[in-house]
Amino acid sequence: MRIAILTSGGDSAGMNAVVRAVVKTGILKGCEMYVVREGYEGLVRGNNEHAEQQAKNVAAETEAEVEREVKATYEAPHGQPAVNLLHNLRFGDGELLKDGTCEFVGGRTLKGRYIVRVGWDDVRGWFSQGGTLIGTARSMTFKTVEGREAAAHNLIREGIDALVVCGGDGSLTGADVFRREWPSLIAALKEKGLVSEDQAKKHAHLKIVGLVGSIDNDMSMTDLTIGAPTALQRICEAIDNINSTAYSHSRAFVIEVMGRDCGWLAALAGVAGGADFIFIPERPPTAMPWEDDMCAQIHRHREVGKRTTIVLVAEGAHDSDLNPIKPEYVKDILTERLGLDTRVTTLGHTQRGGRPCALDRILATHPPGSRSNRCLVAIHGRHPFIHDRFAREQDRASTSNGGGRTGKPFPDPPTRAVKAKDYEKALELRGSEFKEILDGFFATSMLAEESAKLPKEKRMRIGIIHMGAPAGGMNAATRAAVRYCIRQGHTALAIHNGFRGLLDGNIDQLSWLGVDAWTPRGGSELGTNRALPSTDIGGVAAKFQEYNLQGLLIIGGFEGFTALLQLEEGRKHYPAFHIPMVHLPATISNNVPVTEYSIGSDTSLNALVDACDAIKQSASASRDRVFVVETQGGKCGYIATMGALAVGASLVYTPEEGITLDMLRRDVRFLKTRYSLDPPGKSEGRLVIRNEASSSVYTTTMITKMLQEEGGSLFDARSASLGHTLQGGIPSPIDRVRAARLSLKCMVFLEQHHNRLLGQKHRQAPPESASVITVQTSSVKMVPVQEMVKHADMVNRRGKTAWWFGVKHLEEQLAGKPQFLGLHKSPEYQASVSGYAKM
C-alpha cells in the first residue's frame, strides 16, 4: 500500500511529530510512505515529469547505497534487519525539507515535486521542530471541482491508495468532500482519458484518516487537539513575563490571544496565568453593561492591595448581543474609569511557533495506543476517520450529530450555539471539563461579598499540607483551595513543613492576596518533607484537636497517599481524625496508584524534553555520540518511558522491566547496527534514557563505560544525570490548570462530607470520607484510600498496573530496534506486542 500524509490549514506544534510517527509506522507495516508538500495545494500541483524522473533516479541510487552499506559493514548471527525497513531507510529528501532548501536552485531540489517519497531516516529529529516541515497552505484551487480533479489525478499517477490529513475543521471537511466526490472525479478522469480502466478499478475508493491539529482546541468530540498545549504554554510564558513588569509599575495589561470561535486558550490561560478577567465567545459577560461589572471586580482587587491587573481577550470575544469586544476598547475603559496605567499586548502568531511541548509530542504519537498504528487500521475502511485524544475512531455519522450543515462532516456545534445566543448550550457542548475550568476561574478570581458566603454554622477550618518531594503545581493547587475557602467563608490554615511542621505548631492562616502570585511558582511554598503521621500519631491527633481542624487537604505523592492511609486507620483510636480528608496526587514520578496523572508530572516531562533536546544537539554535533541520560522517578518508570517517547530515544530502561545482561547485549548490537547504516559523516546523536532505579548493578556509569568500550570506531558514549532539575522550574500550564480544577473538586468533597457529619452527636466519619482524587481516562473520581491499597504495590511505591506500561514497546518500534535486530518476527516479540495491544 502507498500512503501519503499532508498537513493543512493553520500550522500547529506537533504536526511534524505526527508526520514522523505515521511515516515510521507505515514503513514498519510494509507500506510505501509519501509526504505532500504545501497541503492540498501540493496535491493539486503534483509532480512534473522531469522532477519525478530525477527523484526516481536519486531514490534508486540511495537504495543501492544502503544495500552496499549492509553488505560491507553488517554481520549479525541472530537475524537480519527487516527487508522493507532497509528498502525504505532513506531517500535523501528529508534533509532538504528540514533545512528549508527544498526549493534551492543549483543543487538537489524538490522544485516541481510536491508528492515526495520518504524513508525512515528522512523524518528523524522532526518531532522537536515547530510548525510543519512539509508546509501548509490554504488552497483556493482545491475548493473547486477542477482542483480536486487534478489532485485525484496526481494521487493516481503516484499509485497512492490512502491519505492521512492532519489539520483543523476546514482541512478535515475538505478531506471528506474529496472522499465523497472521488467516484465522480475518477469517472471524469477516465472519460478524459487521463486514467486507464485498470487504474480506475484499482483506485475506486479513497481511504482517508484525519488527525486534528489545531491550536484553538475547537474540534467537537475530541478532548485535546495537537498543538493546543504548546500554544497554551506560549501564552502563559508571555503572561508570566508581563506580570513581572506589571507589578513593577502597578499597571494593567489587556492581552489578546487566539480563539476566533473557541475560548479554550483564553479560559485555561486565565486559570494558569492568574488573570483578573477574561472574555471568551462561549460565555460573554452576563451583566450589562459589562463595563461596570469588569471595573467593579478589578476595583475590588485593587482595594485589597493587588498591584497587577491582567485581562485576557479571545480574538472572537463579544458581548451577549454578539457585539465584538476589542482589546483597545477594554484598555480605554480601564484607563478612563479606574485611572489605571494600561497597555495592550497582542500575542499573535507567537502562539503558533516554537518547539512542541512534551504533551504535544506524546499526543501526536501515542494516545494510549499508537495513534499512527490505529490510522493504518482505519485506512482499510471506506469511511473517513478522525482520531481524538483517546484514539476513539469517529466516523462520519458520529461526527455529524447535531450538525445540520450539508456536507459538513466535522461540525462545531458550540459555534452555532454561540451564533444563536444559546450560551448555556455552547458551554454544554464544549464538555464538562471546559465548564468546570471556567467555573473554577470565576471561583478563584472573584472576591465574594460577605452575603454570598456560607452560613457560619457550615463554615470549616481546613488544613492544607504538602507531602513528599516538591512538584510543579503544588502551589497552584494551594492557591485555588485557599481562594475557594475564602469565597465560601472557610478558614484556610497552612501547615508548613509537612507533619513535622504540624507537630511544631508551624501553622498560619492564608489570605486571598497572599497566594495571588503562587500559580507560576515551582516547588512548595508551604515546605514539604517525607515525614509521615506515624512518626507521632498521637501528637498529630492532639494538633488536629488543638487547631480544631474540620477538614484536611493533603497535596503530595506516594507519601501523601500513605499519610492519608495512616490517618484513616488512626480513626479507630483518635476521634480527631473523624473529619473529611482528601489526597490530591502531586508527584513528578506519577506513581500514585489508580490515577493516570499526578500534578507535576507534565512539568517534569517538559524539563526532561528541554534537557534532552539540548543534550541531543550536543550528541549530534559530535556525529557519533550516545548519551546515557539518567532520570528521577524512584521505582516508577513513567518519566523515563514517556520522556523517551517524547525525545525519540533509542533505548529506555525502567524499574518495571529491569536490566539484564542479555538485554544489554541486544542493545549494543542494535546501536552498532544503527550507526553502521548511517550515511558517512552524518551519524545522528542518540539518547538512552535510564530510570535511576532500573538496576542496582547495571548503573548509568557502568552502561556508559560499556558503550564506550563496545562502540569502537562506530560511536562514543557520555552520561548525564538530570537529577533534581526535573523537580524545579516553572510549572507547566497543564499542571497549573489540572491543579486548580482538582483542588476545587477536593474542596467540594470536604464540604459535602462535613455537612453529613454536622448532624451527628458522636462524629463517626465513614471510610469514603478519606479518599484520593483520581483521573481515570476522561473522568475524575474519588476513590476511598482503603480501596486504593488494593491497587498499590506498597513495597515498590507504585501502582500494580498503569496505562503507560506498554509504551516501551511503542518506543522501541519507533526506534526500529526489533526490525534492525531482525527480532520483529520472533515468537517472543510477537507475544509481547500482542500483550501490549490488549492493554
pLDDT the model gives residue 92: 82
User: Mean per-residue pLDDT for 22-42?
Assistant: 94
Angle 521-728-503 from CA coordinates, rounded to 5°: 75
CB 515 within 8 A of CB 775: no
Selection from 255, 171, 259, 256 nearest residue 215 by Cα? 259
How far is C-alpha 320 from the geometric centre of its chain's CA atoms?
33
Selection from 581, 496, 646 nearest residue 784 by Cα? 581
pLDDT the model gives residue 103: 72
Q: At the fourth CATH level, which superfamily is domain 228-351?
A: Phosphofructokinase domain (3.40.50.460)
Round to whole Å and give the CA distance between 808 and 206. 33
pLDDT the model gives residue 837: 44
The CATH architecture one would assign to domain 455-599+731-799 is 3-Layer(aba) Sandwich (3.40)
DSSP E strand stretches across 692-767: 716-721
pLDDT-derived band of residue 63, with 50, 70 and 90 as boundaries?
A: low
Q: Is the dihedral of CA 722, 725, 727, 732 positive or negative?
A: negative
Round to whole Å and give the CA distance between 612 and 70. 30
User: Mean per-residue pLDDT for 624-640?
Assistant: 96
- Residue 229: asked if its preceding bond is cis (omega within 30°), the reply is no
Tens-digit pLDDT profile for residues 296-353: 999 999 999 999 999 999 999 999 999 999 999 999 999 999 999 999 999 999 999 8
pLDDT at 392 over 80: no
Quote the cell numbers at residue 140.
483556493
Average pLDDT, rounded, for the chain: 89
Round to whole Å and give the CA distance between 592 and 757. 28
Round to whole Å and give the CA distance between 212 and 227. 9
Tens-digit pLDDT profile for residues 47-58: 987 666 666 666
Task: Report CA Rg, the chain.
Answer: 28
Helix 432-445 and helix 423-430: axis angle, to 10°?
110
pLDDT the model gives residue 333: 97
Quote the cell numbers at residue 427.
458551554
pLDDT the model gives residue 148: 95
Helix 264-273 and helix 228-249: axis angle, to 10°?
50
Provide the annotated active-site residues. Answer: 216
Tens-digit pLDDT profile for residues 173-186: 899 999 999 999 99
pLDDT the model gives residue 839: 44
Round to whole Å and give the CA distance between 13 and 19. 12
pLDDT the model gives residue 112: 87
User: Considering only 399-413, 539-553, 685-699, which range has the smallest mean pLDDT?
Assistant: 399-413
User: Considering only 42-46, 66-70, 642-646, 759-763, which range has the smallest mean pLDDT?
Assistant: 66-70
Count CB neighbours of 354 within 10 A.
16
User: Mean per-residue pLDDT for 527-546?
Assistant: 96
Q: Kindly report the CATH class assigned to 609-729+808-838.
A: alpha beta
For the chain, which residues make up each domain, given as ranges? 2-224+358-385, 228-351, 455-599+731-799, 609-729+808-838
Q: Domain 2-224+358-385 classified CATH 3.40.50.450?
A: yes
pTM of the model: 0.92
pLDDT-derived band of residue 366, with 50, 70 and 90 as boundaries?
A: confident
CB 389 within 8 A of CB 222: yes
How far is C-alpha 715 from the geometric centre of its chain's CA atoms?
33
pLDDT at 192 over 90: yes
Exposure letters 320-351 (e unless 16+ CB within 10 A, then b): eeeeebbbeebbebbeeebebebbbbebeeeb
Mark out the alpha helices in 192-227 (DSSP H runs). 197-202
CB 667 within 8 A of CB 695: no
How far is C-alpha 405 from the geometric centre of its chain's CA atoms?
31
Round to whole Å and give the CA distance between 455 and 466. 29
pLDDT the model gives residue 146: 95
Tens-digit pLDDT profile for residues 742-764: 999 999 999 999 999 998 888 89
Choice between 552 and 830, residue whose per-residue pLDDT is larger? 552
Round to whole Å and give the CA distance between 449 and 438. 20
Quote the cell numbers at residue 503.
507537630
Residue showing cell 547495571: 698
pLDDT at 821 over 70: yes
Is there a shared CATH topology between the 228-351 domain and the 455-599+731-799 domain?
Answer: yes
pLDDT at 102 over 80: no
Choice between 733 and 681, residue whose per-residue pLDDT is larger? 733
User: Mean per-residue pLDDT for 100-128?
Assistant: 85
- Tell me, letter by letter, the H, E, C secondary structure of 589-637: CCCCCCCCCCECHHHHHHHHHHHHHHHHHHHHHCCCEEEEEEECCCCCC
Could you tell me what percent of the chain has a pLDDT over 70? Answer: 88
Strand partners, 509: 493
How far apart are the two ends of the chain, measured CA to CA in Å?
28
Strand partners, 278: 312
Residue showing cell 513593577: 248
